[in-house]
Amino acid sequence: MTGSMAVRTRGLSRWYGWDNALVRAVDEVDLDVPAGQTLAIMGPSGCGKSTLLHLLGGLQRPTDGEVWLADRRIDTMSERALARLRRDTIGLVFQSFHLMDELTAVENVEMAALLAGWSPGRARRRALHLLDQVGLADRATHLPSALSGGQRQRVAIARALSNEPQVVLADEPTGNLDTAATLEVLRLFEELRPTGQTLVVVTHDARIAAVADRVISMRDGTFADDSLLTGTGTGTVYGGVH
Amino acid sequence: MAGRLLLIWRLLIRGLRQHRTENVLLLVAITAATATLTLGLALNELVTRPYERTQAATAGPDLVVESGLTGPQALDALAPLATLPGVTEHSGPFPLAFLTLTARDTTVRVIVEGRDEAPAAVDRPALTDGTWIRAGGVVMERTFAEALDVHTGDTVTINGHPLQVTGFAVTAARAVYPQVHWHLPGGNLVEKGGLVWVDHRDITTLAGDRRLSYTLNLKLVDPQAGAQVVGRSTDDPRFRGWIFRSAGDIATSSGRQNRQAETALTVGSWLLTGLAIVGVAGIVAGRVIARRRQVGLLKAVGAGPGVIAAVHLAEYLVLGLAAAGAGLATGWFAAPLLFRPSPGFIGSVDVNPPLRMVVTATTFALAIAVAATLGPVLRAVATSTVHALADAPTPARRRRWLIWLSRRLPTALLIGVRINARRPHRARLVTMNTLITTTAIAAVLSILAQDDDPLNLGYSELPDPRNERTLQAMLIVAGVACFLALLNAIVSTWTAVLETRHPLAVARALGATPTQAGMGMAVAQLLPAAPGVVAGIPVGTGLYLFFDGERYPPASWALTAALGVLLGVALITAIPALAAARRPVADTLRAAAT
C-alpha cells in the first residue's frame, strides 16, 4: 500500500481538550517520506511538530487518521506490537538525551540492541563501533554524568542507531546544545545519509534543516510549506562555521 | 532473551547500588515485619521442641498414670499396668504427697515426689544446678524455684519440715509450674502449684498423716497410644479417679503458658505487616515516580510491559528475599532470648529453622514486596511514553470545597491542606501508619489496664508468668511498630519535602517565611495522622479485648497516648520540614527549571 515510503500518514490528527478548549495539535496531516530521505520539520513552539513525531514513533495514539511505518500500519497496533516495532525498526533521539544515569555510555548504546534480541556480544561490538563512529570510543565506560551535553547527545544518537533501525526520529536533537555540540550532531546526521536510513528531525535550528533533503514548515497543526532541498545547504552550513 | 536478561540484571545491580538509603529503608521495613512473624512461629517451636528434647534427655514417659487410690491399694492397682502388652519400660510407682511448701514467707501448693538416689529407667529428671536428692534435701523443679526466687543451699519448709535445697531439675513427666495438676489424693479438683523431689525415705515424714498417692511412668510401643494401652474406656469404673497423662497432654499444658503471648505476636505480626506495607508502598511510590523517566526511555527504545515490570519488580523481589533472610535470622535467633520457652525444659530450638518456617517467612516477605510494589509498577507500565519521558508531575485536581475551606486558614495550615489535596495517596499512607501504630500502643495500654490476676497458690499469690509473657510480647510488637512508624514518618516527610519543594519555593518567593513553609509541611503530615490516631485507640483496645481481657484502659491513658503519638509525628516531621524550608529559594527554583 505504501510502496517505498518509509513513513506515510493519512488524515493524521491529534486533538487535546474539547469544546472551546479544543487544541488541534496535529490536524489532518498527509505525509509521505520515501526511504532514505532526511526530512526536517520546522515551526514555532506549539505548532504540533513534536506531537507529529511522537505519533510517527507510536509514542502517542492519534485521535484520527492512519500512520504507516515501514509498510506497517501502526495506529491500530497494540502496545506490545508498538514496543516490538520500536525496538526493531525505529531509533529515537530526544532533546533531553534521555540516557539512563545508571548505565555507562556503551551500556546505554547497546540497550536498544539488547531489547531487540541481539546477543550481548553482538550488541557490545555494535555499540563500541557506533561510539567509535561518534568519536566517543574513549568515553565508552563513562557514566552520562561524566559527559558533556554534546557527548551525551552523541551517545543518544549512537543508541538510536544501535539496532540498525529503518527510521530515525529526532526531536529537537540540538535544542539543549551549544554551537560546537550542534555541529557535531550535524556531522553525524550527514554521515547517516549514505547508510540509507530515513531520518525525520523536528527542529528549530535552521542549520539542521540545511542538511535535510526536504523541509516541512508546520503551523497550527498543519503543513504550511513543503520544500525539497536535495543537493543544497550542507556546504553552506559548514562553510559558514568553519 | 539473553540480551534482555542482561539488561534487567544490569539495571537491577545499578539500581541497588544507586539507591542505597532507600534500599536499606525497604530492607529494614520488610525485615522487621518478617522477623515479627518468625518470632510468632518460633514461639510455637520454642514450646514444642524443648519439651521433645527434655523428653529425650530425661527418658521421659509416654504415659503417666496416677491411681485414684492411695497407699498399698494404689500400689496394687498400678503394678499390673507395668506388664501390660504395649508397655516396653516403666519406672515407679513413686510416692506422691500433695502438700504445701514455704520459702521466703511464701506458702504455696507443692507436689512432693519420693525418689531413689539411683536414676530410674523412665523419667530421670535432669539436674540443671546442684546435686540430686539425698536424705534431708530437696530438689526443686527449676521453674518453680525461679518463681519463688529460691537458690541452691537455701532452706525451704514442706509441711513444717525444713529441707535444704540441693539442686534444680527439669522433667518431662509433668507440666511445668504452675500447671503441675496439684490435687488432693483421689480428688479431681486440679489446682496450680509446683513440683519437688525428695528422698523416698523422707516423704512419709513430710506427709505426716496424709495418705500417699502413687505415680507410674510408662514407655509404650506406640507413644501415641496413651491411655488406650490400659484398655481404658470412658467412664470405666475400674479407673474412676485415676489420672492418665500422655506426653502430648503434658506438652500442651506446658504450652498453655505461652498461648496468649503467641496470639499477641501473631496478631502483632499482622499489624506490623500493615506497617511494613505502608512503609514499602511509600518508598516505592516515590521511587517509581523518580524512575518515571526511565520507564519512558525504556518504552521509547522498545521495551515491552514485561521488561519494564521485570526491571522494577526484580529489584524489590531481591530486596524482599534479602529481607526474608534477615528477618528469618533475626526472629529465629531473637526468639529464645526474648521468650525463654520455660526454664522447666532443657535445650533450645534447633540451630536451623524448619523448612516450613523458611518457606512461610520467605513467602511473607516477598508478598509484602509485591503487594506494595505491584500497583505503582503496573501504573508505571501503563503510563504514556511521552508523559513518562516528560517526567511531568501528576496534575493537581481542583476541589472547590477544599479551596474554599482552606483559604480561611492561617498560611501554614493552608499550605498543609493544599499539599495533602495534591497527594491524597501519601496522606492515606500517613493515616494508615498512625492508625496501626496507635492500635499497637492502645493494645499495650489495654493489657496494662487489666487486673494483673496473680496466681493463687493456696496460701500465697505469685505473679502469673502468662501475663508477664503476654505483656512482653506486646511490648515487642509495640516497640517494633513504633520503630517502623518512625521510619515511615521520616520517609513520608522526606518524600513530601522532595515532591513539594518547588511549590513551597514559589510560596516563599511570594513572601511565605521558611517557618510557615516548614510548618505547612509538618501540618501536611499531622492532618492525615489525626484520624489515624483517633481511630487507633478504639481499634487497639477492641482488638485486645476481642482476644482477652475485660477492662478498658482509663480515658486519661488513651488521651495521653493519642496526644503523645500526635506530638511524636509533629516532632518527627517538623525537623526535616523546617530544615528543607531553609534551603535558598533560588537554588530550588533553578533546579526545577532544568
For A144-194, the pLDDT digits (tens) are 888 988 888 889 988 888 888 899 999 888 877 777 777 777 787 777 777
Chain B nearest-CA residue for A86: B302
Chain A positions touching B18 (Cβ under 8 A) are 101-102
B residues 383-422 closer than 8 Å to A (CB): 384-386, 389
User: What's the pLDDT at A239?
Assistant: 27
Among A219-223, B283-287, B382-386, the range of highest mean pLDDT = A219-223
Closest partner residue to B302 (CB to CB) among A86, A94, A101 is A86
Per-residue pLDDT of B88-123, as tens digits, reads: 888 878 998 888 888 888 888 888 989 888 888 888
Q: Which residues lie below 8 Å from residue B317, measured CB to CB, with a gap of 6+?
A: B366, B369, B370
Beta strands in chain A (DSSP E): 5-16, 23-34, 38-42, 64-69, 72-73, 90-93, 167-171, 198-203, 214-219, 222-228
Helix%, strand%, coil% for chain A, nearest 5: 40, 25, 35
| Encoded amino acid at B479, one letter | G
- The pLDDT score that the predictor gives to residue A174 is 82
Which of B4, B14, B293 lies nearest to residue A114, judging by beta carbons? Answer: B4
Q: Please report the pLDDT score of residue B549 as a whole number.
A: 63
Cα A197 to Cα A194, A207, B185, B228, B419, distances in angstroms = 8, 20, 103, 89, 49
Q: What is the pLDDT of residue A235?
A: 33
Given a cut of 90, is residue B207 above it in pLDDT? Answer: no
Please indicate if any CB of chain B lies within 8 Å of the CB of A120.
yes
Exposed, middle or buried by CB within 10 Å (0-12, 13-18, 19+), for B287? buried
Nearest residue on chain A to B18, alpha-carbon basis: A102
Residue B412 — very low, low, confident or very high, per pLDDT cuts 50/70/90?
Answer: low
B300 contacts in A (CB within 8 Å)?
A: 57, 59, 86, 92, 94, 98
Tens digit of each residue's pLDDT (9 = 90 or more) over A79-133: 888 888 888 899 888 888 888 877 889 988 988 888 888 888 998 999 999 898 8
CA distance B274 to B284: 15
Least confident of A2-11, A40-49, A103-112: A2-11
The average pLDDT across A210-220 equals: 89
Interhelix angle A79-89/B305-338, nearest 10 degrees: 110
- Cβ of A116 under 8 Å from any chain B Cβ? yes
Q: How many CB atoms lie within 10 A of CB B159?
A: 16
Which of A96, A98, A112 is facing B302, going by the closest CB pair?
A112
Q: pLDDT tens digits, residue range B359-377? A: 988 888 888 888 877 887 7
Q: Is B1 on the interface with A (CB under 8 A)?
A: yes
**∠ CA(B234), CA(B239), CA(B243), 5° rounding?**
90
- pLDDT value at B442 more than 70: yes
**Residues whose CB falls within 8 Å of the CB of residue B308, separated by 6 or more in sequence, listed in order:** B295, B298, B299, B380, B381
- Give yes or no for residue A211 having a pLDDT over 70: yes
Q: Cβ of A111 and B301 within 8 Å?
A: yes
Q: Which of the two residues, B51 and A63, has the higher pLDDT score?
A: A63
pLDDT, residue A20, reads 77
pLDDT at position A233: 38
- The C-alpha cell that represents B518 in the structure block: 516548614
For residue B504, is pLDDT > 60?
Answer: yes
pTM assigned to the model: 0.64
Residue B82 touches chain A, beta carbons under 8 Å: no
pLDDT, greater one: B586 or B578: B578
Please answer whether residues B287 and B25 qualify as being in contact, where contact means their C-beta atoms are separated by less than 8 angstroms.
no
Complex ipTM over 0.85:
no
In Å, how far is A89's CA from the nearest CA of chain B?
Answer: 9
* Percent residues over pLDDT 70 in chain B: 82
A-B contacts at Cβ under 8 angstroms: 88
Are residues A116 and B302, on separate chains, in Cβ contact within 8 Å?
A: yes
> How much is the pLDDT for B233?
57
Q: Which residues of A touch B7 (CB under 8 A)?
A: 111, 114-115
Chain B residues close to A163, C-beta within 8 Å: 302
> CA B388, CA B299: separation in Å to the nearest integer?
9
Flag whether pLDDT at A217 surpasses 90: yes
CB contact under 8 A, A59 and B303: no
Test the B interface: residue of A16, A50, A102 with most B CBs within 10 Å: A102
Q: Does A155 touch chain B (CB under 8 A)?
A: no
Identify the band that residue A65 occupies on the pLDDT scale cut at 50, 70 and 90.
very high
Which among B6, B17, B293 has the least Cβ separation from residue A114?
B6
State the Cα–Cα distance between residues B92 and B78, nearest whole angstrom.
Answer: 9
